[in-house]
Amino acid sequence: MANYFDIKLSNEEIGRISNLGLAHVGDAVFELMVRVWLCEHGKCTSGGLHRAAISYVSAPRQAKMAEKLLPHLTEEERAVFKRGRNTKVSSVPKNADPGEYHAATGLETLLGYLYLHGRQERINELFGIMMED
């Protein structure tokens, strides 16, 4: 059985996953990291934790984090981000404008791509940049 906490897919395997599939994985990776970060920083009451997590995983907040990350991305990472950002989506949540939603999708696509490649160290590095301040 595969260890999905320590996975490393090949380029060919990842190439068979759609951009939205990568974003789906990246969304889960990001939310888990945010939840752990919030607990680590003392925001552990159930109601407060949920509200705080939602504020970080919203499209507008993710779009701001993506903008902050862009100068730190490699050429490969930037290409994956752009591929995700430019993916056609069927709907945009009412709390986000289309530009924010596309940027958030790009960020999630990048995180999913890195996670499935087994690049947890790089994800942690980028997460640290996103959570500064």
pLDDT of 43 reads 67
Mean pLDDT of 67-84: 97
Token pair for 79: 């290409």
Q: Is the dihedral of CA 40, 43, 45, 50 positive or negative?
A: negative
pTM given for the model: 0.93
Q: Is the pLDDT reported for residue 93 higher than 80?
A: no
Mean pLDDT of 66-86: 97
Q: Distance between CA atoms of 47 and 26, rounded to whole angstroms?
A: 24
| Active-site option among 6, 27, 97, 133 | 27
Amino acid at the residue 116: L
Q: Which domains does the chain have, with CATH numbers?
A: 11-130 (1.10.1520.10)
Note if 97 is an active site residue. no
Q: Is the pLDDT reported for residue 90 higher than 70?
A: yes
pLDDT of 96 reads 79
Q: What is the DSSP letter of 94?
A: T
Q: What tens digit of pLDDT does each residue of 114-133 get?
A: 999 999 999 999 999 999 87
